[in-house]
Amino acid sequence: RHVADFQLSIASVIENSSSDCLAQDLHLQAQHLAERLKCDSVVSEISAGPGTVNFTINRELLAKTVLQQVWKDGSEYGVKSELFSTVPRQKAVIEFSSPNIAKKFHIGHLRSTIVGNFIANLKVALGHEVVRINYLGDWGMQFGLLGVGFQSFGSKEKLKSSPLQHLFEVYVQINKAAEDENTKKLAKDFFRKLEEHDEQTLSIWKQFRDLSIEEYIRIYKRLGVHFDEYSGESFYQEKAQEVLKMLEDKGLLQKTIKGTGIVDVSEKKDLSTVSTVMRSDGTSLYITRQASPSVDLAAAIDRMNKHSWDTMIYVTDKSQSNHFQHLFQILKLMGYDWAERCQHVSFGLVQGMKTRRGEVLFLEDVLNEVCSRMLQNMTSTKTTKEIQDPVETAEKVGLAALIIQDFRGLLSSDYQFSWDRALQSRGDTGVFLQYTHARLHSLEQMHGNAELTDVNVACLQEPDAISILQHLLRYDEVLYKSSQDLQPKHIVSYLLTLSHLAAVAHKTLPVKGSASDVAQARLCLFHAARSVLANGMKLLGITPVTQM
């Protein structure tokens, strides 16, 4: 029995339908309403269900409308829907990834990178202007240590050839001596010189920063991610001092007995919640991000002046939720109404991501691991054809696996990472999405491209064809849902269902050996499914592969 295309819940249209309205009454009213409604050229059938009125659309019209729309809108299918017609085009600043120079690029940074990239892709697709900012941890006492470490253990060659790894190794080594009084003093001196803009010291620091960014750019490229701006805490040291002065002038800065600067962010102004913005020695705090509100305040104000954005989104793990609540609260107290338009998109923690060599230290480790594991899976599969660039394909498929495993649930939930589960070819995985895309692509290669002009839609009446058409019709709703709550899971489950439907239809609706108008119509249907699958995958940050 077929599934209706649209359903109206009777309870939603009856006045005073209180919860004690009996189910059988609702059913009766649904029947009465269904009997009074007439079919027309669009609606071919109206029936009553339990408390609902069900509408079936004229099957040929459904096929014709959906296929034409997908064909005509191409990569903009779903985005041009009237659901978005009232949404104003806006400018969004999105800050994501944000690793710390000379420290490890942990799984939290990876999550921030792929989530931020998804939000940026979605906003761009919906016609918004987006500025992607990578806010580096590029300042603070650790650079005093790093400078001293580099003088002792550094190598200019290694710094040029693999800066991230080399700086990390130097930092680990010097940290072993960090308790030594002499090292402490040297590190303090180095950092003081940095703060005083001593040319030689600054040029060493600048080299650390520039070479790190060059390498980051290369690795982000493998991930399919780019940034418009590499910013960092170093940009805002003077401005942070100005912010402290503004806080003081507005009477918001209070001193504790120890001399620490705090701002009262409590509702009742009873100091029940305070945010520390200044150490007792008068410097703004920048040991960790949580402890550097004045730098973040300066950055937020500066971005507003520079980009005059409509919304600013910070993508970090949920342990920083308090920090951002305080940040937005202080901005409001300072009189910046736009603090209302700042948003923190937080995500949960990932446990158990290890490579064969052990703990993940660098983003590159993850990419290499996913690539080598996928290659191994591909070579051990009998169906793997000779493909032009197996390594590149393995990387794209592997990344899809990582992203789908990450995006399947609510972003805020923690999850246990598993290579085996992520890289399965059957089931709800990124590998399955890639496999479906490649399969549909080779179907088109084999039978030539379908032309929409001469398609006989009467040939697409089988339930498996109708299921795909109905599903394609819903794509805009899913985009709308994700655009409202910025959760990728709606799109993920939509694409997984689409792939399952396409896999079934691939079996039951063969192109090969069918009469030519049937074959053409089916090709057209599969083309539409592949087109929407590819669009959705790209939004998630996945590059669809054409062979596997």
What is the rounded CA–CA span in Å between residue 203 and residue 213? 15
Write down the mean pLDDT value for the chain.
91
Q: Are residues 162 and 43 in the same domain?
A: no
265 within a domain of the structure (yes/no) = no
Provide the annotated active-site residues. Answer: 103, 106, 109
If asked whether residues 346 and 364 sit together in one domain, one would say no
Looking at the structure, tell me whether residues 72 and 36 fall in a common domain: no
pLDDT band of residue 527 (cuts 50, 70, 90) is: very high
34 and 124, same domain (yes or no):
no
Backbone angles phi, psi at 123, to 5 degrees: -65, -40
Rounded mean pLDDT, 185-199: 92
Of the pLDDT bands very low, low, confident and very high (cuts 50, 70, 90), residue 286 is very low
- Give the least confident one: 105-119, 382-396, 474-488, 506-520: 382-396
184 pLDDT above the threshold of 80: yes
The Cα–Cα gap between 422 and 398 comes to 8
How many CB atoms are closer than 10 A to CB 161? 12
Kindly report the CATH number assigned to the domain that includes residue 494: 1.10.730.10
Residues 70 and 98 in one domain: no
pLDDT value of residue 385: 64
Report the pLDDT value the prediction gives residue 284, as an integer from 0 to 100.
53
10 Å CB burial of residue 439 (0-12, 13-18, 19+) is middle
**367-370: Cβ within 8 A, 24+ apart:** 367/219, 367/222, 367/223, 367/395, 367/399, 369/419, 370/395, 370/398, 370/399, 370/401, 370/402, 370/423
pLDDT of residue 532: 98
Three-state DSSP state, 103: coil
**Which amino acid is present at 521?**
A
Q: Closest by alpha carbon to 520, among 457, 468, 462, 470? A: 457
Q: What is the pLDDT of residue 282?
A: 57
Could you tell me how many helices (H) and strands (E) the chain has, helices first?
A: 19, 15
- Long-range CB pairs of 17-25 (<8 Å, 24+ gap) are 23/50, 23/51
Q: What pLDDT, on a 0 to 100 scale, did the predictor assign at position 407? A: 97
| Single-letter amino acid code for the residue at 226 | H
**What pLDDT, on a 0 to 100 scale, did the predictor assign at position 290?**
47
pLDDT for the residue numbered 258: 85
Residues 94, 225 contacting (CB under 8 angstroms)? no
CA-angle at 497, arms to 493 and 498, nearest 5°: 115
* Stretch among 229-233, 278-282, 377-381, 524-528 having the lowest mean pLDDT: 278-282
**Confidence band of 288 (pLDDT split at 50, 70, 90):** very low
Task: Count the Cβ atoms, other than its own, within 10 Å of residue 258.
Answer: 7
Res 280: pLDDT: 66
460 and 415 assigned to the same domain: yes
- Of residues 193 and 360, the one with the higher pLDDT is 193
Query: Are both 313 and 445 inside the same structural domain?
Result: no
* pLDDT band at residue 103 using 50, 70 and 90 as cut-offs: confident
Specify if 33 maps to a domain: yes
Same domain, 128 and 33: no
Residue by residue, DSSP assigns 480-526 as: HHHHHH--THHHHHHHHHHHHHHHHHHHHS-STTS-HHHHHHHHHHH
Exposure letters 458-479 (e unless 16+ CB within 10 A, then b): ebbeeebbbbbbbbbbebbebb
Tokens 């089988």 correspond to: 462
Residue keyed to tokens 């779903």: 78
* Partners of 43 in the β-ladder: 57
The pLDDT assigned to 2 comes to 67
- 264: nearest Cα among 344, 326, 338: 326
The pLDDT assigned to 208 comes to 95
* Distance (Å, whole) CA 401 – CA 421: 9
Measuring CA to CA, which residue among 418, 433, 440, 424 is closest to residue 374? 424
Are 19 and 160 in a shared domain?
Answer: no
Q: Indicate if 442 and 315 belong to the same structural domain.
A: no
Q: What pLDDT is attached to residue 340?
A: 97
Tokens encoding 380: 């051990």
Q: What is the mean pLDDT of residues 361-386?
A: 83
Average pLDDT over residues 336-347: 97
Could you tell me how many residues make up the chain? 548
| 93 CB neighbour count, 10 Å cutoff | 24
Residue 252: inside a domain: no
CATH code of the domain containing 318: 3.40.50.620
Degrees (nearest 5) of the Cα angle 420, 399, 413? 70
pLDDT confidence band for 482 (50 / 70 / 90): very high
* Whole-number pLDDT of residue 17: 54
The residue range of the domain holding 408 is: 63-84+355-540
276 in a domain, yes or no?
Answer: no
Q: Point out the least confidently predicted range of 235-239, 355-359, 403-407.
A: 355-359
Tell me which of 35-49, 238-252, 442-456 is least confident. Answer: 442-456
Q: How far is CA 277 from CA 74, 179, 233, 330, in A?
A: 50, 26, 15, 10
Reported confidence tier of residue 22, pLDDT bands at 50, 70, 90: confident
- For residue 287, the model assigns a pLDDT of 41
Q: Are residues 430 and 338 in the same domain?
A: no
Which amino acid makes up residue 234? S
Structural domain count of the chain: 3
Question: CB-based contacts of 151: which residues, under 8 Å, 6+ apart?
Answer: none
